[in-house]
Amino acid sequence: MNIHSRNLSLDVFRGLTVCFMIIVNTSGSGDYTYGPLKHAVWHGFTPTDLVFPSFLFAVGSALYFSRLSWAHFSASQVYRRILKRTAIIFLLGFLMYWFPFVRHADNGLQFIPITETRILGVLQRIALCYGVAALLIYWMDWKKILAIAAAVLLVYWGLMAWGGDYSMLANLGQKVDLKILGEKHMYHGEGVAFEPEGILSTLPSLANVLFGFLVTYYLEKVGRQPAQLLRLFLVGAGLVLLSWAWHESIPINKKLWTSSFVLTTVGWDMIILSALIYLIDQLKWQSWTGFFLVPGRNPLAVYLFSEILAILLFFFLTPDGRSYYSTIYTSVFQPIGNYFGSFMFAIVFMLICWLFGYYLDKRGIFLKA
């Protein structure tokens, strides 16, 4: 099996994740969003909660193939590559949250000072997890990586139990973020200063990346025959069941990225990936994969475009003072139904982002930090 066929299932998995990520991020109206396309309010799990962990899982899977290429470089060259990629992705995330660097005020546009910018976020977490995971994968064999992933979940469980409860404002991660980041550098979408991509909760999210690497390592070593895929499927199902049993002592919670949340998301990713590999590699059902290969081969570019486009649509205002985002939804999509219109707005938005990715793909442009 060549490199292209080995990567096809991973690219489709990543493309599915990016498309779903855009759909759940760009609902026409938050008041009219189907339940499965919303995050769990606090404890619990919805399909939307699987999106970000799946992206981290895919990062880990891609690291397996990156490690193969590292054999051609010296240790110092590998370290520089890892550090450069980590820094660029982190900086892109930081600048994206700061963009467009001004906000509307009573006296016109007002510059947003750097003292009020959000430091952490989605791309920043991806960067940090990538950097740490890449170093561990470069230094260690799979057994040590598995031990570290398990230890990370147990340590985080112990820290959270020791340092507070599992409420939004009294958990240990919140205390750490307030102390180190400060309120003005945290996310305020919940109505208070609370960072869902906080410092402490980045620790267990590292395990999602490490498990992505371990699953790919397993598949490349034992093969992708039905028996091996069934084993992967069953282990994934077992992790999901284990996570719900663990839920009694450490609740499944995406915003705290609890250890039980890691197990349930890794389990579902194993189930989905094993099914995709069976369909694509074993049954050769590949005619439908082309659509998802576009964002799957250029995930960073498509994701950044989706976020910047949404930011601009919210930022620019119509003469009556409404954002173009809400105006387009209410005038074009809401007439076909509140919930269905909101959903179709997200679908069309995703397709626009897909077209951007298609344009890049046709010209051989791939954003690789």
- The residue-averaged pLDDT of 71-81 equals 94
pLDDT for position 224: 86
pLDDT for residue 5 is more than 60 = no
pLDDT over 70 at 24, yes or no: yes
34: three-class secondary structure by DSSP: coil
| Residue whose token pair is 């590999």 | 277
**Cβ(341)–Cβ(333) under 8 Å?**
yes
Q: Per-residue pLDDT for 3 more than 50? A: no
Work out the average pLDDT over 113-135: 96
> How much is the average pLDDT of 16-41?
95
What are the sequence ranges of the domains in the chain? 10-38+288-364, 48-284
Q: What is the pLDDT of residues 265-278, one digit of tens each?
A: 999 999 999 999 99
For residue 144, the surrounding DSSP H or E stretch is helix 142-163
Q: Considering only residues 100 and 223, tell me which one the structure prediction assigns the higher pLDDT.
A: 100
Residue in 133, 315, 298 with CA at minimum distance from that of residue 217: 133
Per-residue pLDDT tens digits for 186-223: 999 888 999 999 999 999 999 999 999 999 999 999 88
Give the pLDDT of residue 4. 44
Distance CA 243, CA 265 (A): 9
The answer, yes or no, to whether residue 74 has pLDDT greater than 90, is yes
Query: What integer best gives the mean pLDDT of the chain?
Result: 94
Instruction: Kindly provide the b/e burial profile for residues 300-316, where b requires at least 16 CB atoms within 10 angstroms of the residue's own CB.
Output: bbbbbbbbebbeebebe
Higher pLDDT, 349 or 320: 349
Does the pLDDT of residue 106 top 90, yes or no?
Answer: no
User: Quick check: helix, strand or coil at residue 106?
Assistant: coil
For 164-191, the pLDDT digits (tens) are 899 999 999 999 999 999 999 999 988 8
Residues 349, 22: contact at Cβ < 8 Å? Answer: yes
Mean pLDDT in residue range 50-67:
95
Query: What totals of helices (H) and strands (E) does the chain contain, helices first?
Result: 13, 2
Mean pLDDT of 66-81: 94
Q: Answer with the residue of higher pLDDT: 366 or 118.
A: 118
pLDDT one-digit tens code per residue, 231-254? 999 999 999 999 999 988 899 999
